[in-house]
Amino acid sequence: MRILISNDDGYLAPGINALADALASIAEIIVVAPDSNRSGASNSLSLDRPLTVTRAANGFYFVNGTPTDCVHIALTGMGDAPPDLVVSGINNGQNMGDDTLYSGTVAAATEAYLFGIPAIAFSQVNHGWEHLDAAARVARDVVQRRFDMLPSPYLLNVNIPNLPYEAIGALTPTRLGRRHQAEPVIRSQDPRGREIFWIGAPGACRDAGEGTDFHATSHGMVSITPLQVDLTHKTQLALLAQGLA
């Protein structure tokens, strides 16, 4: 099996190094990741400048672009046969509910999915890399599971609680929860007196009920959510068609 690995925290992040170590024992791996932290990059492509691919001493490739750039270049510009699977992460912090729309971690996996390759995004629920070794073992377990019940390609979003391996619960199928709207921006001043803004924290959970990713991980389970890309609101499409008839 050949696995392409990317992330949004950058090629030097502990999460991608732990993931690559864990998967190297079960697959042939290639790592192509951003040169710096591009968390929050969502599905953006860099269209206004050229991109470079550089090989680091450990064999990882880093790109001066976004997570989506990395997977796009790896799949269309780096020769070789396409990988059997693309994995992204392990992210420093959760990607659940509305986070998935902003996440570069999920976006890297989504780019592979759009190219017809099955993909899995991995995130640790809390920031700070606590029990990263356990999360990497869980990620390897998940990769080794057969998802033959799903048509290929599939796009899976996995969130892993920061717990010791033995304390981590079962792999639990979930739907995305919902958050309240994000906290307001934080206004400040730069050293020259100009007004500046920091994007604030994500909103608190609004729908964290049973069956959601928030619910599963708060009970120590590993959340696994199958995602799709079609944003069409099917109910409203029907209403619109009816109303405009």
**Choices 34-42, 110-118, 124-132, 140-148 (CB under 5 A): range interacting with Mn ion:** 34-42
Residue spans of alpha helices (H) in 78-163: 99-102, 104-114, 132-144
Among the listed residues 3, 4, 6, 8, the single contact to Mn ion using CB under 5 A = 8
The pair of three-digit structure tokens given for residue 59, joined into one six-digit string:
């064999």
Q: Is the distance from CB of 104 to CB of 46 less than 8 angstroms?
A: no
**Choices 9-17, 179-187, 188-196, 237-245 (CB under 5 A): range interacting with Mn ion:** 9-17
Rounded to a whole number of angstroms, the minimum distance from the CB of residue 104 to Mn ion is: 6
Q: Whose CB is nearest to Mn ion?
A: 39
Among the listed residues 17, 32, 35, 39, the single contact to Mn ion using CB under 5 A = 39
Rounded to a whole number of angstroms, the minimum distance from the CB of residue 116 to Mn ion is: 25
CA angle 110, 125, 104 (to 5 degrees): 30
What single-letter DSSP state applies at residue 175? Answer: B
Among the listed residues 3, 4, 5, 9, the single contact to Mn ion using CB under 5 A = 9
Residue closest to 116 by CA, chosen among 76, 69, 174, 61: 76
Task: Report the alpha-carbon distance of residue 99 to residue 71 in Å, rounded.
Answer: 20
Q: Mind spelling out the 3-state secondary structure of 3-50? A: EEEECCCCCCCHHHHHHHHHHHCCCEEEEEEECCCCCCCCCCCCCCCC
Rounded to a whole number of angstroms, the minimum distance from the CB of residue 39 to Mn ion is: 3
Among the listed residues 91, 100, 124, 225, the single contact to Mn ion using CB under 5 A = 91
Q: Which is nearer to Mn ion, 2 or 227 (CB)?
A: 227
Q: Which is nearer to Mn ion, 103 or 212 (CB)?
A: 103
Contact footprint for Mn ion (CB under 5 A): 8-9, 39, 91
